[in-house]
Amino acid sequence: MILQQIINGISIGAVYALIAVGYSLVYSVLNFSNFAQGEILMIGAYIGFFALTLLNLPFSIAIAIAMIGAGIVAILLEKIGYRPLRLRSSPLLYFMISAMGLSIFLQNFTIVTIGPNFRTYPPDVIDTKPFSIGGVYIGRLDLMIFAITVISLMLLTWFIYQTKQGTAIRAASYNMRVASLMGINPDWIVSIVFFLAGATAGVGGMLFGMKYTVYPWMGILTIKAFIAAVVGGLGSLPGAVAGAFILGITETFVAAYVSSAFRDLFSFALMILIIVIRPGGLMGVVTQEKA
Amino acid sequence: MSTYLQGILILAGINLIAVLGLSLLTGFTGSFCFGQAGFLAVGAYVSTLITMKFNMPFPISLVTGMMAAGLISILLGYPTLKLKGDYFAIATLGFSEAIRLVIENLDKITGGARGIPSIPTRTTLPLVILIAFIATVCIRFYVISKHGRNSIAVREDETAAQSIGINTFRYKQISFFINCLLAGLAGGLLAHYVGFIQPAMFGIIKSTELIVMVIFGGMHSVTGAALAAVILTALPEILRAAAAWRLVAYGAVVVFIMVVRPEGLLGSWELSWTSLRILWASLKPSLPQKR
């Protein structure tokens, strides 16, 4: 029974990890949290859904389209909502308000155009029958979610640590101004970062949609991913992944053994506890703001 | 006056009271509060329960609701206001979602998701206008007082404010406390006007509407926010046909304001006799000057 809960926790933790990585990536370069991430996830889920149902594409192509589509939407959002503020070096508050505006717009635009109803992914996309190993049921879907998450995160790690663009991103996350003096185009870096964050969110959205359903306000799920990123330390990619799995597993245990109603309450309590004890999160560094 | 018009005015007044605190907290102190509806819910439920279970007079139940919301602001503000704005925004959003879950699950006391029907209606138009007027005047005087100017310094640059000896954490906490008192008051008035409350009334949409009013009216203007509260409460009534597109437009307008004119409709301009006289003078055709 305990093992079963751990597996369920890992499954939901994997989806959180995909989204939390996006939060941390944007935070590490731009020092603010892109709160419109949730809506990018929702758009990714819808793109994947329509690619499968309307266009009858195979699963692997649908997930690639969802990834690229969500990535492009993320770049567009950055260009529309954040870039003008970035150029003016506006206070953090304006970024948060702009993010909220983008979220409200996308969410309600989806409700008005596509409709507010819940949609389920077609059941014949993949074999979802669970199989059991030693009395523990493992859903094929859960296994696949875990595998896709691991592959995506490995690709992301490879990109950031092995390529030239990745090196530029890491340089920008240390100091954007110095990086741009070294000939790195900040706009280009920010676009890449938003594309990566959007793409991982798109995959996360599609996986979440397959496990549960797709609906216009599913973006609210990313609050959990944000909590995971905070628990692991905002700005740290390994921290985000670790935080996501910690949150996923503990949350599942609370739901199973205490009460499912208090699951979300527990998550917020965990976040507040972490920022009281260790404001930088598990693997983050506490930065002192300087003038 | 028709009851319909009276109803709109009462709702506008209640929204105005809730928006005033938000204007102080977000507009003047610079802490982005995304969960105003949660504090409204606390005020509404506490005051309703005091009225219905203990048969207390109206003023006592209103004040108890205010105090309950204020108490929560202290508990929630203590760990989160010390840190960067991201954490506070998410903590308030998380709180408002969590409080809704708690209300839904405390079936015996709060009636769960079905809500509490037949609350004695005690909120009258003159009372709402009186409270709204007093609150506007108080907030306006607070903002131009020493403490208000300290809060503005916190918004403009926290590090600089700290270096000239302002206790930034304390001023953020005071603003948050006042905001929650007003939100609790508005919640109590709302419950005793509508005569029925349920958790669904205090969702994210309500929080969004209130914060949009602040942004729309002018982040640095008390009367601007108050004016926006009245206009944005009445506008949906006039534009009933376009109800579905209302939130889409809100989102677009918020991003537009942040990109083009972050200070909002009135900017830092206040509606007062002096400013009206100056406006009048500038509109008058200037007379030829005597030699």
ipTM of the complex: 0.83
Q: What are phi and psi of A177, to 5 degrees?
A: -70, -45
Query: Searching chain B, which residue's CA lies closest to the CA of residue A101?
Result: B251
Can you give the pLDDT at residue B146?
Answer: 92
Other C-beta atoms lying within 10 Å of the C-beta of residue B123: 20
Chain B residues within an 8 Å CB radius of A265? 98, 101-102
Mutate one of A104, A113, A272, A273 to test the B interface: name it (highest B CB count within 10 A): A104
Look at B245 and A105 and tell me if their CB atoms are within 8 Å: no
Residue B165 carries which DSSP code?
T
Can you give the pLDDT at residue A290?
Answer: 47
B3-283 has CATH 1.10.3470 classification: yes
Can you give the pLDDT at residue A64?
Answer: 92
Joined tokens for residue B237 = 């009534």
Mutate one of A42, A93, A226 to test the B interface: name it (highest B CB count within 10 A): A93
Can you give the pLDDT at residue A271?
Answer: 81
Residue A291 in this model has a pLDDT that exceeds 50: no
pLDDT class of B276 with cuts at 50, 70, 90: confident
Question: At how many degrees (to 10) do helices A237-257 and A263-277 cross?
Answer: 140
From B34, B98, B255, residue closest to A81, measured CB to CB = B255
Nearest to A99 by CA among A49, A182, A27: A27
Other C-beta atoms lying within 10 Å of the C-beta of residue B117: 10
Average model confidence (pLDDT) across chain B: 85
CA pair distance B24, B151, nearest whole angstrom: 9
Look at B251 and A102 and tell me if their CB atoms are within 8 Å: yes
Backbone φ/ψ region at B111: left (φ over 0), alpha (ψ -120 to 50), beta = left
What is the tens place of the pLDDT at every residue in B126-149?
Answer: 899 999 999 999 999 999 899 999
Look at A96 and B247 and tell me if their CB atoms are within 8 Å: no
Q: How far is CA B20 from the centre of its chain?
A: 5
Average pLDDT over residues B251-277: 77
Burial of A256 (0-12, 13-18, 19+ CB in 10 A): middle
Exposure letters B64-100 (e unless 16+ CB within 10 A, then b): bbbebbbebbeebbebbbbbbbbbbbbbbbbbbbbbb
Chain A residues within an 8 Å CB radius of B89? 35, 96
Look at A265 and B101 and tell me if their CB atoms are within 8 Å: yes
Q: Does A81 touch chain B (CB under 8 A)?
A: yes
Lowest mean pLDDT segment, chosen from A16-20, A119-123, A249-253: A119-123
Look at A234 and B245 and tell me if their CB atoms are within 8 Å: no
Residue with tokens 């349920």: B198
Chain A residues within an 8 Å CB radius of B104? 261
Look at A275 and B83 and tell me if their CB atoms are within 8 Å: yes
Query: Searching chain A, which residue's CA lies closest to the CA of residue B248?
Result: A105
Chain B residues within an 8 Å CB radius of A268? 91, 94-95, 98
Look at A223 and B105 and tell me if their CB atoms are within 8 Å: no
- The fraction of chain B above a pLDDT of 70, given in percent, is 94
Average pLDDT over residues A232-261: 84
